[in-house]
Structure 1
Amino acid sequence: MDRGRAAATGAAVLGGVDGLMGPSEIGNLFLSASALAGLMIVSHVISARDAWAPLNRRFIFGLRVMMVLFAGRALFILTDVQFFRFFILLGASLIPISVLILTEGLLRRHAPPMAKLWVAGGTAVFVVLSLWWRDSIDPARLAGLMVFQLSGFGIAGWLVLRRDRASLSAAENRSVERIALSLVVLIPLAAADFLMIFLGLPAQTSPLGVLFLCWLAVSLGRSQSQHRAPLVSFLAIVFGAGLSGLVTAQMAQMDKDATILTLAVILAAVLVAVLFIEAQSLRAEERSQTLLRHLADDRSRDALGFLRGLQSHPLVEGAVLVQGDQLADLDSDVLRHIFAVRPVLRRADPPFTDGAEGDHIAHLFDLFDASHILLAADDPLTLVALSMPALATSPRAELELAAVQRMARLMAANS
């Protein structure tokens, strides 16, 4: 390879070409900025939960290593200052050791000594080489760095495949599988960065792999036990972004390079937006005033205290305790039979029966203008009538009401 081709290869891999801001450089700048934004979102989500937890520290270290790399790329493209190549090379050199450290934390096992020696030795060599940020030793350095990165990913994948699944919990196994799944996409896209000149690619592809990693990491905050839901969502995003990109390219009559750039930019923009929305949604859930939070935070020692606290909850504010004289006009045996069958009654449910039970239920709902009536205690018979707006009623809210009803009944039985 001649000297000019070597310089072009190094500049393309690291993020810029001779200070020119053509379409390719603008696209690479946007992709690097998008990857940086995605990494910052995930880092904030993890830090907000517990930044000092051992596993979280390892994950945040890996995220910050990649943030250094993409920040260096963006600054290099913007300024064409050669010094910023140091941050790109430093971040790329530290990726294998950050992946190994995270993998050991996820598996709660040490890697074999030879694997540690290889990664530690390679990291030391390429960190030292990164101090020479000029491109005079490229593409040999970049070829070695690509082999080192791929070997680091390979070691992590081998450890994941050979792990003792029985020694890990279901949540831990799910976390390991999500990270390993991201490597399936990230490895070829990272390799394509080094080979983009040979492959004729107009843009770096590793930012898209990093955003996929961010997507899977954020999705761990959800309660799905399977990987299907986040994967289906991601594929839907890819399909939608790809279709819109192709339509745009067709309308503008773009060539191949412009079409690839358009697809990459649209996909990156959509992924960052969805990551931000997902992170905000997780944050809102943590702060939300759910009935389950009332269950967790309640410090009362009896059912009545628990129910009085429930009366001030925003979701069911104004709930009414019904007992004693308020039930004097109704047959207590009929009421006990009704609530033995359905501890939580909803106005929207089909009629209970056409007999006395149905008349009793209709009377209760009309008397208290309620949407739900719960059995709180058997002796003395105590009910809770509440009105929940239809728009606020969801399957989750219905489930929480059932949990509240059971807790109140248990507290009453044990008092």
Structure 2
Amino acid sequence: MTLAASDAGNLFLSLAAIAGLLILQAVICARDPWAPLNRRFLLGLRVMAMLFAGRALLILSGFEFFRFFILLGAALIPLSVLLLVEGLLRRHAPQGVKFWVVGGTVIFSVLSFWWSNSIDPPRLVGLLTFQLSGFFIGAWLVLTRDKGSLTVAENQTVERLALSLFLLVPFAAADFLMVYLDLPAQISPLGVLFLCWLAVSLGRSQSQHRAPLVSFFAIVLGAGLSGFVVAHMVGMDKDATILTLAVILAAVLVAVLFIEAQTLRTEEQSQTLLRHLAEDRSRDALGFLRGLQVHPLVEGAALIEARQLSDLDTAVLKHIFKVRPVLRRADPPFTDGAEGVHIIHLFKMFNASH
């Protein structure tokens, strides 16, 4: 099967968006997937994943049935936004807003069962209007919130997610209007990837957040310039240039998102290790060390009992660890004599690095 350039580009963008959503879902699930706010967030992520999976399957198979998942996902997005914003602000939206969002969700969910495009473009115009109203309602609730009822960290979280909603508006509109705008690809995956990156970075403090933000925009700028250079060198037309830029940006965003998620994971593991050390109140040193063994940062650590060292000279071992409490295979304190022999034997016996 050979795909047209626009179909191949749209397929890549959809798969990139799914990859970004899965990375963000893994970050949230690693914290607490059953926390009330996290459940709302995960609902929104899975709705978007369903939409992009429908797009990918439609391109790969050509079966119009998969438009059902695209239309249903698009219909559920405003409800997902409202539920998330209510959870973030810890208050209910006005009754009229709820009726509007729930009513629109029901209407367009029912219409999604008619996956044929015979009732388009009126349905698509209505769906676009409904989606945009959902984004603007979320932004309005954020802007009119009672800041005093939230902590500083919660206010920062709300503001950053509101920024991502504003950025999603033009991308979502471009998807519906791509025919009229003469675009070769649906570019909403780029907005979703930015949302995923912004959500992952919420795990950091404000000071930790600035450096990745600068790096993020530098990488995106570099990717964009690279795309323009490639397009100029090859002599691409407008459509090919847009496709190239979109694909390069999506690939870079997924890579940056993955690195950011891994970095955040390492930082959180360090914090849990310090918390484990600080909060221990047991007087059982051996039990404490056994509990510490299950932590990812000390995975592979071994507890050595005295009987395992019975063939070594205790006095020599005490002297070694008095001079250097922590031994490193790459930098031993002694390389010859009885101490050197003991150190070599220890590292070989336990196949250790430290």
**Do these two structures clear the TM 0.5 threshold for a shared fold by scoring above it?**
yes
Asked if structure 1 preserves the Cα contact closer than 8 Å seen for 2:139 and 2:166, the reply is no
* Residue 187 (structure 1) aligned with residue 187 (structure 2): no
CA contact (8 A) 1:178 1:227 kept: no
Q: Say which of 251, 255, 259 aligns to 1:273.
A: 255
Q: Cα RMSD between the aligned structures?
A: 3.1
Letter in 2 for 1:58: R
Kindly provide the amino acid, as one letter, of the partner of residue 265 in structure 1. Answer: V
Matched, 1:296 2:278: yes
**In 1, distance between residues paired with 2:181 and 2:63?**
26
Q: How does 1:41-56 map to 2 (within 5 A)?
A: 41-56=23-38
| TM-score of the two chains, using structure 2 as the length reference | 0.79
Q: Secondary structure at the match of 1:202?
A: coil
Residue of 93, 98, 104 corresponding to 2:75:
93
1:216/1:230 contact within 8 Å kept: no
Return 269-278 or 161-170, whichever deviates more.
269-278
Query: How do 1:128-139 and structure 2 match up within 5 A?
Result: 128-139=110-121
Distance 1:20 1:156, change over 3 A: farther
Q: Residue in 2 aligned with 1:32?
A: 14
SS at match of 2:117: coil
Residues 228 and 280 of structure 1, relative CA distance in 2, 3 Å threshold: closer
Number of aligned pairs? 308
| Deviation, structure 1 residue 251 | 1.9
C-alpha displacement of 1:243: 1.6
Cα distance, 1:285 vs structure 2: 3.5
TM superposition shift of 1:249 = 1.3
Distance 1:87 1:203 in 2: 19
Aligned to 1:360: none
The one-letter code sitting in structure 2 at the alignment partner of 1:282 is: L
Contact 2:201 2:209 in 1 (8 A): no
Secondary structure of the residue aligned to 1:92 is helix
1:222 aligned residue (198, 204, 207): 204
Amino acid at match of 2:101: V
2:225 and 2:329 map into 1 onto residues whose CA distance is 40
Counterpart code for 2:45? L
Displacement after TM superposition at 1:284 (Å): 3.2
CA shift, 1:248, in A, is 1.5
| Contact 1:174–1:225, Cα closer than 8 Å, also in 2 | no
Instruction: Give 3-state SS (helix, strand or coil) of 1:110's partner.
Output: coil
Q: Which has the higher strand share?
A: 1
Moved more, 245-254 or 128-137: 245-254
Q: Give distance in 2, aligned partners of 1:300 and 1:101.
A: 42
User: 2 CA distance for matches of 1:250 and 1:193?
Assistant: 26
Q: Percent identity?
A: 70
Secondary structure of the 2:184 match is coil
Q: Give the Å deviation of 1:196.
A: 0.9
Q: Which runs of 5+ in 1 are unaligned?
A: 1-18, 318-366, 371-384, 392-415
Question: In the alignment, which of 147, 164, 168 is matched to residue 129 of structure 2?
Answer: 147
- Amino acid of the structure 2 residue aligned with 1:139: P
Quick one: structure 1 residues 291 and 115, their matched pair in 2 at CA, closer, same or farther if it must change by over 3 Å? Answer: closer
Distance 1:160 1:390, change over 3 A: farther
Higher helix share: 2
Report if aligned partners of 1:90, 1:130 keep a CA contact under 8 Å in 2: yes
For 1:274, give the aligned amino acid.
Answer: V
1:241–1:270 CA contact under 8 A, matched in 2: yes
1:371-390 aligned at under 5 Å gives the runs none
Gaps in structure 2 of 5+ consecutive residues: 303-320, 332-354
Q: Structure 1 residue 388: deviation in Å? A: 8.8
Q: Measure the CA separation in 2 of the matches of 1:131 and 1:289.
A: 48
**Contact (CA 8 Å) 2:20, 2:257: kept in 1 or not?**
yes
> 1 CA distance for matches of 2:260 and 2:60?
30
Q: Which residue of 2 aligns with 1:168?
A: 150
Picking from 78, 96, 102, the partner of 1:114 is 96
The structure whose RCO (Cα within 8 Å, separation 6+) is larger is 2
> How many Å separate the matches in 1 of 2:266 and 2:174?
38
Task: Go from structure 1 to structure 2 and tell me whether the alpha carbon gap of 1:55 and 1:232 turns closer, same or farther (over 3 Å shift).
Answer: same
**In structure 1, what is the Cα distance between the partners aligned to 2:216 and 2:193?**
10
Which secondary structure state, in structure 2, belongs to the residue aligned with residue 136 of structure 1?
helix
Which of 1 and 2 has greater Rg?
A: 1
1: CA distance, partners of 2:8 / 2:190: 16
Q: Supply the distance in 2 between the matched residues of 1:287 and 1:276 (Cα, whole angstroms).
A: 17
CA offsets, 1:319-352, max 9 Å, x none?
xxxxxxxxxxxxxxxxxxxxxxxxxxxxxxxxxx
Query: What's 2:63 paired with?
Result: 81
Shift of 1:220: 1.0
Write the distance in 2 (CA, Å) between the matches of 1:237 and 1:173.
Answer: 27
Stretch deviating more after TM superposition (291-300 or 140-149): 291-300
